[in-house]
Chains A and B, each alone.
Chain A
Amino acid sequence: MSRLAQGGLIDRNAPLTFRFDGRTMPGFAGDTLASALVANGVGLVGRSFKYHRPRGILTAGSEEPNALVTLRAGAKAEPNTRATTAQLFDGLEATSQNRWPSLNLDLLSVNQLAAPLLAAGFYYKTFMWPAAFWERVYEPIIRRAAGLGALSGLPDPDVYDRDHAFCDLLVIGAGPAGLAAALTAGRAGLRVVIADEDWLPGGRLLSDRRLINEAPGHIWAKAAADELASLANVRWLTRTSVFGVYDGREYGAVERLTDHLPNTPARQPRQRLWKIVAKHALLATGAIERPLVFGGNDRPGVMTASAVSTYLNRFAAAPGRRAVVFTTSDSGWDTADDLIEAGVELAAIVDARDAPMNAREPRIRAAGVRILTGAVVADAQGRQLKSVDVRDRDGRSLSIACDLLAVSGGWSPTIGLASHLGARPVWSETIASFVIHQPPPGMTAIGAAAGRFSLAKALADGASEAARIASELGRTATPASPMHAYDEPVAVRPLWHVGAHKTKAFVDFQNDVTDTDVALAAGEGFTSVEHLKRYTTLGMATDQGKTSQLNGLALLAKATGKPIDQAGTILARPPHAPVAIGVLAGHHRDEHFRPARRTPSHDWAVENGASFVDAGQWKRAQWFARPGERDWLETVNREVNAVRAGVGVCDVSTLGKIDVHGPDAATLLDRLYANQISTLAVGKVRYGLMLREDGLVMDDGTVSRLSETRFFVTTTTVNAAKVMQHIDFARQVLWPALDVQACSVTEQWATFAVAGPKSRVLLQNLTPDLDLTNEALPFMGVVQHRWRGVRMRIFRVSFCGELAYEVSVPATLGDGLVRAVFEAGADLGVTAYGTEALGVMRVEKGHPAGAELNGQTTAGDLGLGGLLSRKKDYIGRVLAGRPGLTDPDRPTLVGLRPVAQGARIRAGAHLLPLGAQPAAANDQGYVTSAAYSPTLGRGIALALLQRGPARHGERIIVHDPVRAGDVEAEVCAPVFVDPQGGRARG
């Protein structure tokens, strides 16, 4: 046991037990998994990514590169959880990763022996040939050997929430600077959101023994947090990581709601995704201590000095029995003092600086600690640390036994978030690190994140920046109650590399990148920092190089002989910390992946056995299978036959519908459609074809004239929104002078196609007082009527080629209408049909639909060239005349009939002349739509074929190498059923 007898912010009255790799151990409430492991003397926690080297715990925060474990088990397993941030709960179960068969005996650690082969660029150099082997052989093997935790492969049992927050000030981080800022702003009445990844307020104050107003800093932090919690204008988000900064002063954050609980209460969200819009933001994210680069610096037992202080002060857990501190900064001396205070034997302080002046020196020297200045640790020895090899200022080597080495390479401000929108970090000689000079709009870095490391400066910084923001927003900040703190020394002299060493020295722990990898990359010409990064993978692990980036950059600068500020900089990208995909999906998973739109007859269709198909967001009835039908084809054939011989009903409410009103409505429609609309008589319907500005077909539909100034336009289902947008663009931007109004009424009308030779009889039963004779309502006519107290419109249009109507009522009565229609047609054998039968009948009639209106076809290609008006201007007219679109060799719509009666043509197949080689040069077009026609008892298809209309009667090859093979087919007119169109007019 390495638990200290007293101290720490743990609750000794709340003992917990947990399991790591099957071993049960004790801990306390207030521990992290890492601190509990430290308290239990567990040094080996994981294996490294590439070499499978034994790894321990390097840090005590979210920057941890080594101690990644899988938390929980089964479907709830959370791989790659940082042990340093996982709050301990009773019964917690964690397992180590990336080892086989066990953590202590990892057979894949033989990779270390092959280390010379695994240097930077190894994969690129070794697995180049044969190329086909990369995907099938090399990559799977590499991925199996080098990896992190594995996903469970089971559905995520948790639910996730999302929320939006709006504030005057977002404070990112609840350390001394952040708390001082939030207090100042909160008291001034600003709307404040303060987000902190820890569960306790205080940040660094929780880890050290610095005083505020002569009391431990964490006591001040607690009081500040209590006051903030009492303010209605402050929202306090604990366990919350701000992971991204976006345009428009938007911030993304994840709040962990139940990750610290043994069991998630039923339906309680596990995590919440926040989108925070903040007028101002203060980056109070503190700083991260850098490791030092020397031999064996990754061995379990080597830890950053600040982490050692955290484990001692916050968690009362000693990471070792006999320690050495290796430092280049004053803060290392603070840790030395902490070690002495905690009663851990401190063997030596090794300070790389020649003559460090530190106030703590007399006390430390008095404790009998050996102080070596101008000295470095060249190598750390032992599988678990046993000793360090120190090279003193005279170059002599000495070995010091220890099981803990606390390293302090200076501090790097945590400014990743500030560079998310492209701001380049700027080198600061004073702190030997990067700071941010031009953060994103509205953001300011304060305290340690701004490179102002002392506690006194952090507090002052927070208070003054918040006061400035308050006054900018017209509020008065009352002077904060005094916060007295020591302006402690924070000097650092960077030591990027210790010089000669015997064993591997790591720069990036998580991706196993060593100092020699950096040198090798530079030697091979990868001297741009961006190339270095990709070639060595430095900084590309899940920790985004939080502990490694600067050390790597410094070594690159050294290798290329440049000063560090000219070696280049790397920008961070969201997410700042790993984010579970589940929280991004939130509500939108499984059947709620996207919202579904249900037609007015949906419930009725369900009752009648419909199978549904997605058409955009719509759920449309695809067919209505009856008991005893063997497959969908039998069902669809029955539905088609019923329409052609009797009467069928299909919900077509999903078609886009637009009201176009106003004195200039006809003028606008003439400009929107390629054919003439203004000549349409009141009470009549016309087919309309819309081109895009580039001359290709955009959409088709019908236009009905309900009065001189009122038109009703329909679109295809998929293009409904696009056409609405197009109309609004035309009337608002292109021709704002026109007096015309338009709005979507797609949802207003429930519309049913009532089709077949018996459709008139059915409708007459439904509306006995309406005259439906050919004279009163001819083909392409529309009448308005009242039905059950509401407006009803009956359009005499036909998509299937039979006598047919489209009947509309407000959607409120849609369900009532479909039931009424079936009552009215019960004696006629009225049959429900779905989109599949609809599709078969339109292929039989040669009507272009989605597959033909594919954004690549002209009106001429679709056999609709005759519609293009020569009497007026319209969108797309000029470009429809360009040579490429009027080329007579363009593939044009034809019908295809397989020569062999039973043969089947599939959409997507290509068309070749008889006897031609199947080569792209001989390709003459392709099949757009294919169907089995029950009317003709054979397969039919629509296709786009070069000079198609001139080739009716010719035989061609339908070439389909990936499916059914080749089929010989005869080219014919695209209208297979009732080519004269007499039935629809009957």
Chain B
Amino acid sequence: MADTVTISEPRSLAVATIMARKGVNEAAIEAAVRLAAPSQVGRSAPPALALIATGPGVWLALTDEPGEAWPDPLEAQLGDLAAVSDQSGSYLVWRIAGPGAGALLQKGVAIDLHPDAFGTGASAVTVIAHMGVILWRPEGAEGFEVAAFRSYARDFEHWLRAQAL
């Protein structure tokens, strides 16, 4: 591949699924976590908490500064507004950056990753090589982030490396 790609070591972050209770809108969630609950991807001021929209009223919250007893503080913030499930054990997150990052991922992703179609802040729940992934372009950083189930880590890593040859 002519364009270089950097594939990070997978990171284990503090992760949680936020599912809004019946009738609770995005604005209420936003207010509670003091962060724009985006239709796609958002990132708060420090302590950096990223919210990735994964479905109607559903977000994946990620942070590498979880503090004590994650996700208790997040649950406390949301109170009766949303259900929170810890997913820190579920996902590993890869950062794929460099001029060839999009082309590499496009080999596995059957949705359009062209910047016009999948720009900064975009997210998608999709599949790469029969492995479910959550994929987004983070705000304020170049490249893509991909969350895949921990049980697939070895095979997902193998797929990534095979494409990067």
A72 → chain B closest CB, angstroms: 23
Q: Please give me the residue from chain B that is nearest to A810 by CB atom.
A: B89
Q: Is the CB of B107 within 8 A of A162?
A: yes
For the complex, is B91 an interface residue (Cβ under 8 Å from A)?
yes
Which residues, 564 to 601 on A, are CB-close (under 8 Å) to B?
Answer: 587-588, 592, 594-600
Bound Cα distance from A618 to B20, whole angstroms:
31
Q: Is the CB of B107 within 8 A of A745?
A: no
Bound Cα distance from A746 to B152, whole angstroms:
13
| Chain A residues within an 8 Å CB radius of B152 | 595-597
Q: Is the CB of A164 within 8 A of B106?
A: yes
Question: Which one of B12, B86, B112, B165 contacts A791 once the chains associate, using CB atoms below 8 Å?
Answer: B86
Of B31-39, B135-143, B154-162, the stretch lying at the interface with chain A is B154-162
Which residues, 106 to 165 on B, are CB-close (under 8 Å) to A?
Answer: 106-107, 109-110, 112, 114, 117, 129-131, 149-156, 158-159, 162, 165
Bound Cα distance from A812 to B21, whole angstroms:
28
For the complex, is A354 an interface residue (Cβ under 8 Å from B)?
no
Q: Is the CB of B155 within 8 A of A748?
A: no
Q: Is the CB of B89 within 8 A of A812?
A: yes
For the complex, is A163 an interface residue (Cβ under 8 Å from B)?
yes
For the complex, is A275 an interface residue (Cβ under 8 Å from B)?
yes
Given known contacts A588-B129, A592-B158, A741-B83, is B107 in contact with A164 (CB within 8 Å)?
A: yes
| Chain B residues within an 8 Å CB radius of A659 | 83, 85
Given known contacts A163-B106, A587-B129, A588-B130, is B87 in contact with A745 (CB within 8 Å)?
A: yes
Q: How large is the interface on A (under 10, 10 to 19, 20 to 34, 35 or more residues)?
A: 35 or more
| Chain A residues within an 8 Å CB radius of B21 | 662-663, 739, 741
Bound Cα distance from A748 to B150, whole angstroms:
9
For the complex, is A359 an interface residue (Cβ under 8 Å from B)?
no
| Chain B residues within an 8 Å CB radius of A162 | 107
Bound Cα distance from A791 to B70, whole angstroms:
9
Bound Cα distance from A810 to B69, whole angstroms:
12
Q: Is the CB of A596 within 8 A of B89?
A: no
For the complex, is A661 an interface residue (Cβ under 8 Å from B)?
yes
Given known contacts A163-B107, A164-B106, A595-B155, is B89 in contact with A811 (CB within 8 Å)?
A: yes
Which residues, 159 to 203 on A, are CB-close (under 8 Å) to B?
Answer: 161-166, 191
Q: Is the CB of A661 within 8 A of B155?
A: no
Bound Cα distance from A277 to B131, whole angstroms:
21
For the complex, is B53 an interface residue (Cβ under 8 Å from A)?
no
Q: Is the CB of B86 within 8 A of A810?
A: yes
| Chain A residues within an 8 Å CB radius of B40 | none
| Chain A residues within an 8 Å CB radius of B162 | 587
| Chain A residues within an 8 Å CB radius of B110 | 164, 275
| Chain B residues within an 8 Å CB radius of A742 | 19
How many B residues touch A, CB cutoff 8 Å?
40
Bound Cα distance from A745 to B15, whole angstroms:
12
B96 → chain A closest CB, angstroms: 16
A589 → chain B closest CB, angstroms: 11
Q: Is the CB of A748 within 8 A of B90?
A: yes
For the complex, is A864 an interface residue (Cβ under 8 Å from B)?
no
Question: Which one of A191, A592, A739, A814 contacts B89 once the chains associate, using CB atoms below 8 Å?
Answer: A814
| Chain B residues within an 8 Å CB radius of A745 | 85-87, 90
Q: Is the CB of B85 within 8 A of A161?
A: no
| Chain B residues within an 8 Å CB radius of A587 | 129, 159, 162
Bound Cα distance from A234 to B83, whole angstroms:
47
Bound Cα distance from A165 to B112, whole angstroms:
7
Q: Is the CB of A592 within 8 A of B155?
A: yes
For the complex, is B17 an interface residue (Cβ under 8 Å from A)?
yes
For the complex, is B77 an interface residue (Cβ under 8 Å from A)?
no
Question: Which one of B12, B23, B90 contacts A747 once the chains associate, using CB atoms below 8 Å?
Answer: B90
| Chain A residues within an 8 Å CB radius of B114 | 166, 191
| Chain B residues within an 8 Å CB radius of A746 | 90
Given known contacts A166-B112, A659-B83, A743-B17, is B89 in contact with A749 (CB within 8 Å)?
A: yes
For the complex, is A750 an interface residue (Cβ under 8 Å from B)?
yes
Bound Cα distance from A747 to B156, whole angstroms:
15
Q: Is the CB of A596 within 8 A of B90?
A: no
Bound Cα distance from A596 to B150, whole angstroms:
11
Give B contacts to A, CB under 8 Å. Answer: 12, 17, 19-23, 58, 69, 82-83, 85-91, 106-107, 109-110, 112, 114, 117, 129-131, 149-156, 158-159, 162, 165
What 3 pairs across the A-B complex have the smallest Cβ distances?
A811-B89, A810-B89, A661-B83
- 22 A-B pairs with C-beta separation under 8 A: A163-B107, A164-B109, A166-B112, A191-B114, A267-B165, A275-B110, A277-B112, A598-B153, A598-B154, A618-B151, A661-B85, A662-B22, A663-B21, A739-B23, A741-B19, A741-B21, A746-B90, A747-B149, A747-B151, A749-B89, A812-B150, A814-B89
Given contacts A595-B152, A663-B21, A748-B87, 20 further A-B contacts (CB under 8 A): A164-B109, A166-B117, A267-B165, A277-B112, A588-B129, A588-B130, A592-B159, A600-B89, A661-B19, A662-B22, A739-B21, A739-B23, A743-B19, A745-B87, A791-B86, A810-B88, A811-B89, A811-B90, A811-B150, A814-B89
